[in-house]
Amino acid sequence: MADTAHEVIHTRPHAAPASTAFTEFDLPAELSRLHEETTWSSGQNARTLVKYDTLRVVLVALKAGKSLETHRTEGRLSVQVLSGHVEIKAAGRTFNLRAGGLLALDRNQSHDVRALQESAVLLTIAWPGEGR
């Protein structure tokens, strides 16, 4: 799948490319907003928090039992579990991550994500810049 596989379809516009020296977020407040949106009734919701040409940071909320089917991204990625418990299958292994857990995957690694409990994860995707 494309690099946007983790982004849930919704009517909210994605974050504009960052144009300031810094961006600060209150993640619990952002997660609350995701839970309040009508899209949450589908069992999953996401918001792109940071958007640069070579970097994305996406907050993803999943209800227990919801999955992000097998996909891959051309960038390197990390998945940090903020709350709950997720199972990620990648590189021929199954990773069980709970709050505070972090998994990093190299480029083009097929993976799927399944929430074993209601969960929130922070997904970071990084692509190499030009000439690298």
Q: Write the single-letter amino acid at 26.
A: D
Domain that holds residue 36: 27-126
Within a domain: 2 = no
Within a domain: 8 = no
Question: For 66-99, how does the pLDDT look when each residue is reduced to its tens digit (9 = 90+)?
Answer: 998 888 889 999 999 999 999 999 999 999 999 9
Within a domain: 4 = no
Within a domain: 68 = yes
DSSP label of 14: P
| Counted domains in the chain | 1
* pLDDT on residue 18: 61
Within a domain: 5 = no
* pLDDT on residue 22: 86
Q: Are 61 and 34 in contact (CB under 8 A)?
A: yes
Residue 21 banded pLDDT, cuts 50, 70, 90 = confident
Within a domain: 132 = no
What would the two tokens of residue 56 be? 């994305």
What's CA 117's distance to the chain center, in Å?
Answer: 16
What would the two tokens of residue 119 be? 């969960």
Q: Are 77 and 1 in contact (CB under 8 A)?
A: no
9 against 53, higher pLDDT: 53
Question: For 46-67, how does the pLDDT look when each residue is reduced to its tens digit (9 = 90+)?
Answer: 999 999 999 999 999 999 999 9
Q: Closest Cα to residue 105, out of 120, 124, 129?
A: 124
Domain containing 84 — which CATH number? 2.60.120.10
How far is it, in rounded angstroms, from Cα 43 to Cα 93?
Answer: 25
Q: Are 73 and 125 in contact (CB under 8 A)?
A: yes
Within a domain: 42 = yes
Within a domain: 121 = yes
- To which H or E segment does residue 33 belong? helix 27-36
How far is it, in rounded angstroms, from Cα 81 to Cα 119?
Answer: 7
Question: For 34-47, how does the pLDDT look when each residue is reduced to its tens digit (9 = 90+)?
Answer: 999 999 999 999 99
